[in-house]
Chain A
Amino acid sequence: MKAIIAATIIGVVLMFTGILVKEKKGIATLAAILFFLLLGVNIWELSTLDANQPQAFFNNMLRIDRYSVWFNTLMTACTVLYVMLSGREIQKVGIHVSDYFALMSFMLVGLYMLSGYSNMLVLFLGIEIISIPQYILAGSDKKNLKSSEASLKYFLMGAFTTGILLMGITLLYGASGTFDIARFTFLQADSLNPMALCGIIFLIIAFAFKVSAAPMHMWTPDVYDGSPTPFTAFMSTVVKAAAFIAFIKLFHISFNSLSGHWTMIIAVITAATLLVGNVTAVFQQSVKRMMAYSSIAQAGFMLFAVLSISATSWQGLIIYAVSYTVATMGVFAVLMKLKDFTYDGFNGLAKREPLLAFVMTIFLLSLAGIPLTGGFMAKYFMLTAAVEQGQVLWLVIFALLMAAISVYYYFRVIIAMYFKQGSPEMSSPVTAGDRLVLVATAALVILLGVAPGLLLKFI
């Protein structure tokens, strides 16, 4: 709750800095400091929270436990890292720099709501609060037609999905007479209510769209490709993690008893997502577009957390969200330094910028799930959770196969950097500060791979 208030105030403050401060660099620095303060507020909230007793706010609108606050803390930390990695690129997008940061702060409000909601109304508001800034950020590069297209496409599709989400909530309300997610469990006692099942199907569709799972993934490549690159890095990581925590919360807490009815649907969605994401990524020529498909593929792995209901899957979600977020932000940070986003643009990067190529390799290895990186531990946790659950062993084998395919397109970049000749054009010089942050990020990826337990200490 403290974090929600703090993030709102920070958002309002950032709105006004754009009027008072004209210098872009100053705004970016201030934003980094404010997000850092927000991280502090999160840690403060974590330390004051009773370990065993979830805290309810405002007539049970929010129910905050250690898990959700820890998730908030990690995601806020990722946001700080993101601002440090791509703060300079954000300044280049347009003139409304402070507004972009304000929107990010509001998105964090949405994230905090989605990790702690206990009422469908708060869920709906949270989803809207993370969505609307995304539509705006996607279209913030107004001179670029692709950016406008991305924004409009995302907005229209997102608006339809919001309608579907609302329909699902309505049907559930009609079946149960309550918005409280903890009280939906009455469904098991009653003879099965078809209206509630319909509602659950609608909710699956809406969430699948928000996390870009097949077959509701169609918007992802165009939106992620068309949006300004720094915002793609944010949308495909922190915001996606927020949608996932809302997904897993609702389905594990409320619909747990009905899992027999929806496990198969989610399993098929997972399989389709893995297949579409990985196979289509192979055929891409642009690394940015490949990353869009890769984010679909990674969403497929994260869906395992929803699928297998156990403590391991909750832990797995946190590990996956963090390691995927850190690695993806790293990849995008390197990508933004280059002018040409195709594979050929990476040719010979190792000669020109050996450090950049090296950290990029680590990030890509993590995304591919090679041992000793965070991505490996994340995939390991997810698949362990699925094996423990035991119903979808075929899906685990399929996922392993798909992970093998993903190695191909991630390694194409590495091969281009190390084994091909060429002189990549840089869009901006790589400063010492950039190097420092990138190396720190890469070190973080390795640390997560060696000691993933660090992420679970505070739950």
Chain B
Amino acid sequence: MDLLLLATDQNTPFNYFPIALQLVVAIGFVIVMMVVTHLLGPKRRTSDKLINFESGIPSVGNARQPMAIKYFLVAILFVLFDVEVIFFYPYAINFAELGWEGFKAVLLFVAFFLCGFIYIVKKGALEWEE
């Protein structure tokens, strides 16, 4: 039980032991299930069974089709703001300690992002239907 005791220590990689354990169990469960069903189930391969199931409707055309660029646009903007939000995390933890100096720094940073956000909205990048 050494490991579990270690896990109670502050701030070592072994804090993550429970998470790792959960990951292992989760992935292991999926793998075991997939392998077991594969091995246990009967296999009858007919041509009808091998085609994609599309609610009984015969599949038409190709799944790979060019799609509207709006999806990319929204996704890219999401990534940018995602990165912004991550910067808040270290700030939140040091909130009291950093005081006004830190607050000003974060405020300026957010102000820039707000400018960017207003710019995006005004330019109509998030409007779905034009």
Contacts and interface: CB of A to CB of B under 8 A. Distances in A.
A19 B122 contact: yes
A394 interface: no
**Interface residue tally of chain B, by bracket?**
under 10
A12 B123 contact: no
B115 interface: yes
A19 B115 contact: no
A12 B118 CA distance: 11
The interface residues of chain A, by DSSP majority, are classed as helix
Nearest to A20: B122
Interface string B114-130: 01001100110000000
Nearest to B112: A12
Interface residues of A, number: 5
A16 interface: yes
Interface in A1-54: 12, 15-16, 18-19
Contacts of A12: 112, 115
B112 to A, nearest CB: 8
Contacts of B112: 12
A18 B122 CA distance: 10
B111 to A, nearest CB: 9
Interface string B92-119: 0000000000000000000010010011
12 contacts: A12-B112, A12-B115, A15-B115, A15-B119, A16-B115, A16-B118, A16-B119, A16-B122, A18-B123, A19-B119, A19-B122, A19-B123
Nearest to A12: B115
Interface of B: 112, 115, 118-119, 122-123
A16 B118 CA distance: 9
A12 B119 CA distance: 9
Report the 5 A-B pairs with minimum CB-CB distance, sorted nearest first.
Answer: A19-B122, A15-B119, A12-B115, A16-B119, A19-B123
Interface of A: 12, 15-16, 18-19
A15 B123 CA distance: 10
Contacts of B118: 16
A18 B115 CA distance: 13
Nearest to A13: B115
A12 B122 CA distance: 14
A12 B112 CA distance: 8
A47 to B, nearest CB: 27
Contacts of B119: 15-16, 19
A19 B125 CA distance: 13
Nearest to B119: A15
A74 to B, nearest CB: 28
Contacts of B122: 16, 19
A202 to B, nearest CB: 25
A368 to B, nearest CB: 44
A125 to B, nearest CB: 14
A19 B117 CA distance: 13
Nearest to B111: A12
A12 B108 CA distance: 13
A95 to B, nearest CB: 11
A18 B124 CA distance: 12
B98 to A, nearest CB: 15
Contacts of B115: 12, 15-16
Nearest to B116: A15
A15 B120 CA distance: 10
A58 to B, nearest CB: 11
A16 B123 CA distance: 9
Contacts of A15: 115, 119
A98 to B, nearest CB: 10
A19 B120 CA distance: 10
A3 to B, nearest CB: 17
B47 to A, nearest CB: 42
Nearest to A18: B123
Given A12-B115, A16-B122, A19-B123, 9 more contacts: A12-B112, A15-B115, A15-B119, A16-B115, A16-B118, A16-B119, A18-B123, A19-B119, A19-B122
Contacts of A18: 123
A19 B116 CA distance: 13
A15 B122 CA distance: 11
A19 B123 CA distance: 7
A18 B112 CA distance: 17
A443 B122 CA distance: 44
